[in-house]
Amino acid sequence: MVDLDCCVVCGDSPESIVDEVVERLGDRADFGIVFFHDIDPEDVVSELSYGVERFVGCVAGEGHYPGSVKGHKISLLALKTEWMAKFGTGGSARQDPGEASRGALEEAFEDLDFDPYDVSYSALNLKDPKRIVMYRPVIGITFIEGATFHNLGGTGLEVLSGFRFGSGPAAESIRTFGALSSDPELESAPVVCDKGVFESGAVYATISTFLKVSWSFASSLKPVTKLGTVTKSRENVIVEIDGRPAGEVYIEKLEEVTDYVKACPNEYVYKELPPLGVVRVFPSVGHRIIPRTPLEVTDDYIRTAGYVVEGEQLLLLGFDDRPNAPVRAYQGSLSSGEEPLASILVTFAGRKPLKEEIPDKHCVGMYSFGEIIPITGYNEFHNHVSACLTIFREPVFD
């Protein structure tokens, strides 16, 4: 059994949160995920540093998880371990989302007390002492200020997929889980880590350990009709579909499916613009439909939350009325059947609050404006999905 403990603490002040964490864990926590609203971010960072060695988080607004948090101003999931786990954090206030993400990630690596790119760093497998296994980052956690991400093209996440751990055959992608902290048209929602407060930037945490993690995501959307092939695009602006003005095609197709518009609940439609589905091909798993929220539609173009590549197929998506997507995402992350230690849940803004099946005890999260989930070695940006990352108590060995 791993010498690891965690707690979820909710309250109205950073001071009370810190006091409870120290009391419940017996000492400072090694790592934390914090969500807050109606509190000065500088106060959060200043006070939390007394009780948590490393942490990342963001302004989460009203209605963040768990259910017991409603009415509280701050929630924190804190981890404490004495066994083969290291945490690094970083932040960057650079204006370009890609550069902000890169800066935050590189600083998070620098925070570790060994070189994460040195694949010779190894440790004994306690279940088989004759076997040596590499000690490596299992996953990264990031929060990106949403307004900057969308307004500058929504391509900031691409840089994260380009980072590899190690070199040669041993290299692997650094799988990243996270969310955007604000609506593209709302005021900036700062992101924070133990290094400080970052307006219009990004924060990143590396978890380097043998601990087992699992993630899952779910959506309540389904394809309604095909729009066509993207024949011209610029980052997150679709200019042409099948050689025609993209906005014109979108509006024309929308008029053909009025029944869909009536059936789609308001919380699934941004500005009454039904979401798109990008048919993206991933090595080893094939086709996946990646939701994209239209932020702006004119007769000439469609501006979306997240990039779209020329040659990709576009679908119009509708609500399929399946069971609660956050619940399915949470349950999917528990598919191994092992005892979960802690879960982080992000789900797209506009959904009704969770009412059942998500435990308050060790689950924390937020309503987001874009969800980041790994897919077969690629860190993909989603809209309109619920995503859950779960950490398990038992270690995993290669």
Residue 227, pLDDT score: 92
DSSP state of 321: -
pLDDT band at 127 (very low <50, low <70, confident <90, very high): very low
DSSP-assigned states of every residue in 268-307: G-BTTBPPEEEEEEETTTEEEEEEEEEEEE-SS-EEEES-
Lowest average pLDDT, out of 99-103, 142-146, 198-202, 303-307, goes to 99-103
pLDDT at 54 exceeding the cut of 50: yes
pLDDT band at 47 (very low <50, low <70, confident <90, very high): very high
Considering the domain architecture, whether residues 247 and 327 belong to the same structural domain is answered as no
pLDDT band at 398 (very low <50, low <70, confident <90, very high): very low
Give the 3-state secondary structure of residue 53: strand
pLDDT at 104 exceeding the cut of 50: yes
Asked if residue 145 lies in contact with residue 202, where contact means CB atoms within 8 angstroms, the answer is yes
Residue 321, pLDDT score: 66
Of 281, 297, 319, the one marking the end of a domain is 319
Alpha carbon distance 98, 103 (integer Å): 9
Considering the domain architecture, whether residues 270 and 129 belong to the same structural domain is answered as no
pLDDT at 70 exceeding the cut of 60: no
Of 293, 319, 345, the one marking the end of a domain is 319
pLDDT at 89 exceeding the cut of 70: yes
Considering the domain architecture, whether residues 315 and 327 belong to the same structural domain is answered as no
Determine the average pLDDT of the residues in 235-250. Answer: 91
Residue 164, pLDDT score: 59
Considering the domain architecture, whether residues 207 and 120 belong to the same structural domain is answered as yes
Structural domain of 275: 221-319
280-307 exposure pattern, b = at least 16 Cβ within 10 A, e = fewer:
beeeeeeebbbbbbbbebeeebbbbbbb
- Percent above pLDDT 90 for the chain: 18
Determine the average pLDDT of the residues in 91-111. Answer: 78
Residue 264, pLDDT score: 59
pLDDT at 286 exceeding the cut of 70: yes
pLDDT at 44 exceeding the cut of 80: yes
Considering the domain architecture, whether residues 95 and 204 belong to the same structural domain is answered as yes
Q: Tell me the average pLDDT of the chain.
A: 77
pLDDT band at 125 (very low <50, low <70, confident <90, very high): very low
Considering the domain architecture, whether residues 287 and 372 belong to the same structural domain is answered as no
Considering the domain architecture, whether residues 51 and 85 belong to the same structural domain is answered as yes
Which H or E run contains 197? strand 196-198
How confident is the model over 153-178, as pLDDT tens digits?
555 555 565 555 555 555 566 788 88
Determine the average pLDDT of the residues in 91-112. Answer: 78
Residue 23, pLDDT score: 92
Of 319, 344, 374, the one marking the end of a domain is 319
Residue 121, pLDDT score: 44
Considering the domain architecture, whether residues 102 and 167 belong to the same structural domain is answered as yes
Count of structural domains within the chain: 2
Residue 137, pLDDT score: 57
pLDDT at 134 exceeding the cut of 80: no
* φ and ψ at residue 185, rounded to 5 degrees: -105, 0
Asked if residue 76 lies in contact with residue 33, where contact means CB atoms within 8 angstroms, the answer is yes
Considering the domain architecture, whether residues 342 and 375 belong to the same structural domain is answered as yes
Asked if residue 378 lies in contact with residue 157, where contact means CB atoms within 8 angstroms, the answer is no
pLDDT band at 4 (very low <50, low <70, confident <90, very high): low
How confident is the model over 322-363, as pLDDT tens digits?
667 888 888 888 876 677 888 888 887 755 555 455 655 678
* φ and ψ at residue 349, rounded to 5 degrees: -60, 150
pLDDT band at 68 (very low <50, low <70, confident <90, very high): very low
Considering the domain architecture, whether residues 306 and 228 belong to the same structural domain is answered as yes
Considering the domain architecture, whether residues 375 and 346 belong to the same structural domain is answered as yes
3-state class percentages of the chain: helix first, strand second, coil last, to nearest 5: 20, 45, 35
Considering the domain architecture, whether residues 56 and 169 belong to the same structural domain is answered as yes
